[in-house]
Structure formats: C-alpha cells, structure tokens
C-alpha cells in the first residue's frame, strides 16, 4: 500500500472534514477520517481498540482505522464556531467518539444486533452532530446485504433516498450530520464488487447563513476523488524494487585475463 497520508495528506483549514478509504481487494483495505480540531500547537494521540487518534501541530486531527476490519467505522464530531474568526462562519470540531458497527455479522444474530445498535446510536445523536463514515474491508457479508434500517439511519444524517446500495468489499465514505436535509450529505462510492478503487471526499463545513433545518450548518465546499489503486500499487512496488536494487552493493569486477604469448 502506498503511503497515502504523506503523498496526499488530509486537508488543513477551518471547517475541513475529510474521509478516505478503500476495500479489502486493494491492499487489504484502509481508512481514515480527518478534521480541523480545536487542539493547537501540540502533537499527541490516543488509541482505543482498532481506532487511533492522531493530533498534529497544525490542529488537524486524524482518526486511523485498522485495515481488514469489517463493518462501518464512524467518527462523531461537535461543531464549534471559531472564536473571532477571520472568515465569517468559520468552524472547527471537537472529537466526541469513534467506533465500529459490525454490520458484517460473522456470528449468529450479530448482524441484527449491530444493525439495531447503529440505528439507535444515530437516533440519539443531537441535532447538528457531524458523523463521518468509512470502511476498511467490507460493510456487508457476501451473502448478507445490509438491512433497510441501515440506510434509513443514513437518510437521517443527510444521505439521499436514492443512495446506491453498499456492496461487498465496495469502498464507502460519507459526511453528514443529524438533521441535514436528505440528499445534502456527501458520499464517495465505487459500486463494483471487489473494487480496487480508493475514494476520498473533502468537505468544508461552515455556520449557515440560514437555519432552516435547525442545525445552523451548511457545506461551503465539497471535493470528491477516486484513485485506481491497482495502478498506484504497481507503480509503488516498481519504485520500491528500484530503490532496493540501487542500494545493493555492486558486484566485484572480474579479473582481467592475461593473454598467453
């Protein structure tokens, strides 16, 4: 897997929230969520289960999720209006929690249990609470599609009613918030089974100019990108091989043979 965090680092700036992920078929999966946090001038971090929070000196906080972990991984953020902002409506975010909902369910009754837990969790979020979602393997099992309730909970966070069904080992990234109007949430998807595509979404959230939905938030900017990882992985492997060959000591020169005369 290429080092995406250094080649394409998370965005920096007021109101930035980004998600990047890919499924198992591309390097056994990976995923992270980044946001402009309230922490400044300090580098620290914490680890809980399969989630690791990194805080950079620039104030960007990144939640890294372990690869090859089934289900959906979520990060919950509280939006805070930046004090004395240079730009009107500038926001930053306080990390609230991160967790995994194992909708894959590889044990008897686990899919139903985790589906119910996901729906109840979304229902209890306060209005305006930002939720970012990613996968690092697959959200669903090959023979067990996600329940309709999973999508209904995403609709409550702003996902469109026509959201494509999330398939087996397909990358899925999402940013929305509780109370966001349906269809306004930002989605990154590649609807191909065993997809080798990495999806990335970068958003800028700001204090809204109106408060029609009761949240007081709006997307100011949205960027979506896809990277075909099969080619990227091949190029990275070739580059790594070239470096290894260059580091090897040169073979000794063969002694010159004297001519017999």
> Which residue in 197, 196, 69 sits closest to 137, CA to CA?
69
Within a domain: 251 = no
Within a domain: 249 = no
Mean pLDDT of the chain: 84
Residues 145-178 pLDDT 10s:
999 999 999 999 999 999 999 999 999 999 999 9
Instruction: Report pLDDT for 26.
Output: 85
Within a domain: 10 = no
Instruction: Report pLDDT for 193.
Output: 79
Q: What is the mean pLDDT of residues 43-50?
A: 60
Place of tokens 């260059």: 246
Instruction: Report pLDDT for 176.
Output: 97
Lowest mean pLDDT segment, chosen from 95-99, 121-125, 151-155, 251-255:
251-255
Domain count, the chain: 1
Within a domain: 42 = yes
User: Whole-model pTM above 0.85?
Assistant: no
CB of 67 closer than 8 Å to CB of 198: no
Q: How does residue 2 score in pLDDT terms, banded at 50, 70 and 90?
A: very low
Within a domain: 2 = no
DSSP state letter for 141: B
Euclidean distance between CA atoms 193 and 171, whole angstroms: 9
DSSP state letter for 180: P
Residues 55-66 pLDDT 10s:
887 889 999 999
Within a domain: 102 = yes
Within a domain: 246 = no
Q: Which domain holds residue 68?
A: 16-235
Q: Report helix, strand or coil for 20.
A: strand
> Which residue in 187, 189, 164 sits closest to 174, CA to CA?
187
């Amino acid at each position: 897997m290429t080092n995406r965090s250094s080649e394409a680092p998370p965005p920096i700036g007021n109101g930035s929230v980004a998600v990047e992920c890919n499924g198992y078929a591309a390097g056994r999966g990976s995923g992270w969520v980044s946001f402009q946090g309230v922490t400044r001038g300090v580098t620290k971090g914490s680890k809980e289960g399969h989630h690791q929070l990194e805080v950079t000196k620039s104030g960007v906080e990144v939640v890294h999720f372990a690869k090859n972990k089934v289900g959906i991984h979520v990060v919950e953020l509280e939006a805070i209006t930046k004090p004395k902002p240079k730009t009107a409506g500038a926001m930053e975010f306080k990390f609230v929690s991160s967790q995994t909902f194992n909708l894959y369910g590889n044990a008897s009754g686990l899919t139903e249990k985790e589906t119910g837990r996901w729906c109840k969790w979304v229902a209890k979020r306060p209005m305006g609470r930002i939720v970012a979602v990613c996968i690092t393997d697959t959200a669903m099992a090959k023979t067990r599609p996600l329940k309709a309730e999973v999508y209904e909970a995403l609709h409550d966070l702003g996902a469109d009613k026509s959201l494509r069904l999330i398939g087996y080992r397909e990358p899925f990234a999402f940013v929305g918030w509780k109370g966001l109007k349906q269809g306004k949430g930002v989605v990154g998807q590649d609807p191909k089974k065993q997809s080798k595509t990495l999806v990335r979404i970068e958003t800028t959230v700001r204090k809204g100019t109106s408060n029609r939905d009761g949240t007081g938030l709006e997307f100011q900017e949205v960027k979506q990108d896809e990277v075909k990882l099969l080619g990227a992985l091949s190029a990275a492997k070739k580059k790594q091989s070239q470096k290894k060959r260059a580091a090897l000591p040169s073979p000794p020169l063969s002694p010159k043979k004297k001519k017999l005369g």
